[in-house]
Every structure is written in structure tokens, then in C-alpha cells.
Amino acid sequence: MTPGPAGAGAPPPRGPLAGVLVADFSRILAGPYATMLLADLGAEVVKVEGPGGDDTRTWQPPVRDGVSTYYLGVNRNKRSVALDLGDDADLAAARELARRADVLVENFKPGGLARFGLDYETVAATNPAVVYASISGFGSGPGGRSLPGYDLIVQAISGLMSLTGDPDGDPYRAGVAVFDVMAGLHATIGVLSALNLRHTTGRGQHVEVNLLASALSGLVNQTSAYVAGDVVPFRMGNSHPSLFPYEPLPCADGDLIVTAGNDGQFRKLVQVLGVPELADDPRFLRNEDRTANRGQLRPLLVERLATRTKTEWFRDISAAGVPCGPINTIDQGVAFAEEIGLDPVVTAGEGAAAVPSIRNPITFSDTAAEYRLPPPAVDEHGEEIRRWLAEREEAP
């Protein structure tokens, strides 16, 4: 593995990907999220930005100390170098970084880096071991390569928005760029798989991920309903097409999500609610019966739930082993994770520059994720990275 340009005084990475150098030519969300996950696990990530920086630096409010929290959320543990690919010296530095990288991640339009000699074929000619990951909106084929890939557009085109919202209302987008995140995760899986194969073959390969393919895969049961069952799913509000109860149900002071994913859980639920006879009612014996007869079952459950608060029911229903939960705001969700010992908030970096962030969700028994560096300023590490690249160029 190629050593990276670790800064003076910076703690060396110790995670499972220590020694892996990632050239990050991506921006906005899917690519930066993938490279942050790799960095958390020990990879040395060099974030290559244009002179104006990553687009998300300007996506504000909200901000922390004048910096977009959107940008802060997906760029810890990286070093930034600003390179103008239209400048000969900067382009030479970018090519040298690509030549040394174990992994290169980019999310330009398909073919967009070819004019700079930074496309997979050109990079692999001098670096055949490189794992080169490309993330696009609609793939590199002739029908999709020219389409801009924004998560909201993919939410619309994939069909997700047709499933989100009230049955008689307008389609809605999800509250987060869900397919950017999925594509970032799929890219990470692809990179790690290709790195593993490289141990055997000594060669890298081109890994391609696109948002629409990630969306159709991530829609799981909904796309399966169509391709395997010839059923076109539709908006059902908070209801589930194949399960009941699996939705918010009103208690004395607000809604509680109640889910009974199998017959055993339903039997436990009605026992806690004080109506155990419902478990043996022929209308509700099996999940398919409950789903078909939800219009009759729902008011019977609501009648019982209305007698107590959502907090009281949450405590007792959970204790019985039936999944349920309140509908929280983000701050309440973080607080709940803290209450149950997940320690969701970590600090990236040290001292005045340290930035609070959400913990990497993967736990290892021996090689924990690390949070060595806060998200960098534009070109914060440019001088040391350029010096590192130039020194190696001049070496005999």
C-alpha cells in the first residue's frame, strides 16, 4: 500500500484500512459520504477540490462557525488540496496523486475526467492496481450519461415519490437524500470488494455505481412487487402494503408507531393491550388476515391505546417484546440513542478546530473507527500535499 501525505503531528491511522490511499475527486454527498466512511476506518483520504471548494460548503443554513453543517457532516478525516485542473501544474499534481492512489473516487458526469487524463483507462495505464470508483446519476450508458444526477430527481424518476405521502395527497420526497446515501454505501461496498480481490490478482478495476440503480435496489419489496408480482405499488400514507399493524396509532396524547411483524408479536401485543381474544379471532389469526381486515382491527387497537399515554404504552409494549416507538424530532432521536448507550455523537479533531459529528455506525471488536481530523478548509493541506507529490516525483 502507498503511504499518504500524513501531516506533521497528526496521529497515524490505525483502522482496518490503514495504509490505503484514497484520491477523492468527488463532491456534494454520495462520493464524500463513501470516502468519509473509508477514512473513518483508517484510509488516508486526500480531498481534491476546485479552487472554489466543494459545492456543499455554500449549502447553508445551518452553519457552525460560518461553515455549512451539510459539508461538515460528510468530510471528516480528510485532507484538502485545491487543484485547478485547467492549470498545468495542478493537473500534473492531480495525475500524480491518481498514479499513487490505491482508490480513486469521482462523481463527475460520465466521461467528464477523460479530457484531463484522469479517466479510468488513462489512470489504470500507469496504475493498474487502482480501484477506481465512479458514481453517477443514471449510469455511463448512452441513455443516461448526459443526465444530471441529483437525488431529488432520482427520487422522482425511480418511483419513490409515488409511494411517499397521503393516498389522496401529493407525492413527497424523503426528508433526506436517501439515494445519495445508498449510492455512497454501494460505492463503499464495491471499493472494499475490489480491494479484496486485488490481494489475489494484484490488479484493480473500475467500480461503477449510479443513483437510479441504487434506488431500484433500495426500493426492495416495492420494486419486487412490480417485477415479480406485476403489481404497481401506490401511496398508502403511513400504512404498509403487507403488514398490519405497522404504522402510527393514536394514544391518549399522540401517536405511537406499533409494528407486529409476525403472529407471535401480534399475540403479545393484544395481551399487553388487554384484549387477548383478538389473537384467536378468525379475522386476525394470521398476518394476511390482519392485513386484509385492517379496517376492522385498527379501531379495536386504537380504542385500547387511547386509554393511556404513548410513553406508558411504549414502555409496556416494548417490555413485552413487540417493536414500537414514538415519532421523535432529530434532537429527540439523538437523545434516545444516547439514553440507550449508543454514544451517537463523536468529536472529530482536537482543540478549537474540533467538530461534533455522528459516529460511524460500524463497530469492530479490535479496530475501532477513529475521528482524527475535523472537516478541512479549502486547500488546508494543499502545501504539504503538493510538497509530498513533488518530492516523490523528483525521487530517483
Catalytic one among 40, 119, 151, 180?
Answer: 180
Residues 163 and 250 occupy one common structural domain: no
In a domain, 211, yes or no: yes
Are 34 and 49 members of one domain?
yes
- What is the sign of the dihedral through the CA atoms of 27, 31, 33 and 34? negative
CA distance 172 to 163: 8
Angle between helices 178-201 and 211-218 (to 10 degrees): 100
CA 93 to chain centroid? 30
Mean pLDDT (whole number) for 200-219? 98
Tell if the pTM clears 0.85, that is, is over it.
yes
Bridge partners of residue 22, in order along the sequence: 45, 103
Question: Residue 179 falls within a domain, yes or no?
Answer: yes
286 and 137 in a common domain: no
Whether residue 29 is found in the same domain as residue 137: yes
**Residues 350, 262 share a domain:** no
What pLDDT digit, counting tens, does each position of 238-250 carry? 999 999 999 999 9
Looking at the domain assignment, is residue 356 inside a domain?
A: yes
Tell me the one-letter amino acid at 100: R
Q: Residue 355's beta-bridge partner residues?
A: 348
Looking at the structure of the chain, the number of domains it has is 2
**Does residue 288 share a domain with residue 307?**
yes
Pair 139, 63 in one domain: yes
CB 32 within 8 A of CB 106: no
Model confidence over 346-372: pLDDT tens digits? 999 999 999 999 999 999 999 999 999
In a domain, 132, yes or no: yes
At residue 11, the pLDDT reads: 65
3-state secondary structure the chain: CCCCCCCCCCCCCCCCCCCCEEEEECCCCHHHHHHHHHHHCCCEEEEEECCCCCHHHHCCCCEECCEEHHHHCCCCCEEEEECCCCCHHHHHHHHHHHHHCCEEEECCCCCCCHHHCCCHHHHHHHCCCCEEEEEECCCCCCCCCCCCCCHHHHHHHHCHHHHCCCCCCCCCCCCCCHHHHHHHHHHHHHHHHHHHHHHHHCCCCEEEEEHHHHHHHHCHHHHHHHHHHCCCCCCCCCCCCCCCCEEEEEECCEEEEEECCCHHHHHHHHHHHCCHHHHHCCCCCCHHHHHHCHHHHHHHHHHHHCCCCHHHHHHHHHHCCCCEEECCCHHHHHHHHHHCCCCCEEEECCHHHCEEEECCCCCCCCCCCCCCCCCCCCCCCHHHHHHHHHHHHHCC
In this structure, the answer to whether residues 198 and 49 fall within a common structural domain is yes
Average pLDDT, the chain: 95
The Cα 314–Cα 216 span in angstroms is 34
**Mean pLDDT of the region 297-321:** 97
Say what angle helices 211-218 and 220-229 make with each other, to 10 degrees.
80
Query: In Å, how far are 42, 44, 174, 200 from 20, measured between CA atoms?
Result: 8, 6, 34, 16
Q: Which of 339, 366, 385 is the last residue of a domain?
A: 339
Q: Say which CATH number the domain at 44 has.
A: 3.40.50.10540
pLDDT at residue 395 above 90?
A: no
The total number of residues shown for the chain amounts to 396
Look at residues 308, 339, 370 and tell me which one is the last residue of a structural domain: 339
Q: Which range marks the domain in which residue 84 is found?
A: 21-219+344-394
Q: Could you read off the pLDDT of 109-134 as tens digits, one per residue?
A: 999 999 999 999 999 999 999 999 99
Instruction: Return the pLDDT at 391.
Output: 86
60-69 confidence digits (pLDDT tens): 999 999 999 9
Same domain for 41 and 60? yes
Q: Which of 314, 339, 364 is the last residue of a domain?
A: 339
Closest CA to 370 of 78, 63, 27, 97: 78
**Alpha-carbon dihedral of residues 239, 241, 245, 247, nearest 10 degrees?**
-20
What sign has the CA pseudo-torsion 80, 84, 89, 91?
Answer: positive
Q: Give residue 148's pLDDT.
A: 87
State the pLDDT at residue 55: 95
Residue 131 lies in a domain: yes
* CATH number for the domain that contains residue 327: 3.30.1540.10
Do 159 and 308 reside in the same domain of the chain?
no
CA–CA separation, 359 vs 344, rounded Å?
Answer: 5
Question: Are 209 and 304 in the same domain?
Answer: no
**Phi, psi angles (nearest 5°) of residue 224:** -65, -35
Using a pLDDT cut of 70, give the percent of the chain over it: 96
pLDDT band for position 12 (cuts 50, 70, 90): confident
238 within a domain of the structure (yes/no): no
The model's pLDDT over 38-89, given as tens digits with 9 standing for 90+, comes to 999 999 999 999 999 999 999 999 999 999 999 999 999 999 999 999 999 9
* Whether residue 330 has pLDDT greater than 80: yes
Q: Are residues 182 and 255 in the same domain?
A: no
Is residue 42 included in any domain, yes or no?
Answer: yes
Q: Is residue 2 part of a domain?
A: no
343 is catalytic: no
